[in-house]
Amino acid sequence: MSDDDRRRWKGPGPDKQDSGRRATERKVIARNARTESSKRWIERQLQDPYVRKAKEEGYRSRASYKLLEIDETAKILRKGQRVVDLGCAPGGWIQVALQKGAAEVVGIDLLPLVPIEGALIIEGDVNNLDDVEKMLAGLSGPPDLVL
């Protein structure tokens, strides 16, 4: 037997079901991407375990896990807090704040956002004083935490 025959992959062995690729890993080809960088981003996004986990657990984005990790180390979220989320789209951090027991949550973003039960969402600009006043009027007092 030559070296080439020994090194060439011949498919899964008799006791294996797949090629050895991890079950969580899948190769996805982004055919509708306009640029090469968009194609790479879509492929990374579709293979990201946190994107998959966020979808399974009902979070709006993978960023929810970043806030959960920050809270695990710094303990910034407490029950009964008044929380403001600046640049809140798509709403993952609002979900986490509510889950951790925040009493009042107000989010503001330039982008429209699907409502989240228990939170006030303002489509506006944090640099616009009228929008900031609307945001603060949605709280019963000064915010305890600004995200």
Task: Express each pLDDT in 54-104 by its tens digit.
Answer: 888 888 888 999 999 999 999 999 999 999 999 999 999 999 999 999 999
| Cβ(29)–Cβ(41) below 8 Å | no
The set of residues, in sequence order, having a beta carbon less than 8 Å from that of 111 and lying 6+ positions away, is 89, 123
Cα 97 → chain centroid = 14
**Does the pTM of the predicted model rise above 0.75?**
no
Q: Which domains does the chain have, with CATH numbers?
A: 77-146 (3.40.50.150)
Alpha helices in 1-147 (DSSP H): 3-7, 36-47, 49-57, 63-74, 92-99, 129-137
Query: In the structure, what pLDDT confidence band is assigned to residue 143 with cuts at 50, 70 and 90?
Result: very high
Which conformational region is residue 145 in: left (phi greater than 0), alpha (psi within -120 to 50 degrees), or beta? beta
DSSP state letters, 104-145: EEEEEESS-----TTEEEEES-TTSHHHHHHHHHTSSSS-SE
Cα 69 → chain centroid = 12
Q: What percent of the chain has pLDDT over 90?
A: 57
Q: Is the pLDDT of residue 39 over 50?
A: yes
Handedness of CA 51, 57, 59, 60 (dihedral sign): positive
